[in-house]
Amino acid sequence: MDTQDKGAPENTVRLGNIGGGIADELFDAEFSKVLRNVRDPNTNPTKARKITLTITLTPNKDRNGGHMSVDVSSKLAPVQPSDPVMIYLGKSKTDGRLVAVQHDLSQIGLFESTASPNVVAIDGGKAKEGEQ
C-alpha cells in the first residue's frame, strides 16, 4: 500500500529513510537479539518478547526544524534458574580444606569414573576414620 503523498518532495522523512535507514538497521539488530532469546533453551518458550522503536523529535526554537533520533530496545524473556544440582562436601587430601564435588565421595568405589583421588568424604564435618 503506497501512502506517499503524491505532491510531497521525494526526500520527505519516512520511517525507512530516517538517517539513511538507521531505523531499519537498528530494528534488524534488535530483532536478531529477540530471535536468539526465543531460541535460548534457558528462557521460557512462551513468554512474550517486545521490541520498542522510539523516535524522538526535538524542534528548534523557531519551530522550523530540529533534530530527530531513533532508539530501539527490547524486553526479552529472562534466563530461567537452573535445576538444583546435588553437591557433596569433601576434604582435600593435599591441604585439608573443604571442597564441594558433584558426586557422592562415599560411593567412589562403585563408580570409578567419578573418582577424585585428592578428595576424601567427610562425615559430620570430619574426615572419615582412617582418612587424612
pTM of the model: 0.61
> Quick one: 20 and 71 in the same domain?
yes
> Quick one: 60 and 102 in the same domain?
no
Task: List pLDDT tens digits, range 83-110.
Answer: 888 888 877 878 888 888 776 666 555 4
> Quick one: 62 and 94 in the same domain?
no
**Residue type at 100 in one-letter notation:** A
Choose among 15, 10, 50: nearest CA to 31. Answer: 50
DSSP 52-92: EEEEEEEE-TTSS-EEEEEEEEEEPPPBPPPPP---EEEEE
pLDDT at site 105? 62
Write out the residue range of the structural domain in which residue 38 sits: 15-75
C-alpha cell recorded at residue 34: 529477540
Task: Determine contact, residues 18/55, Cβ cutoff 8 Å.
Answer: yes
29 within some domain: yes
102 within some domain: yes
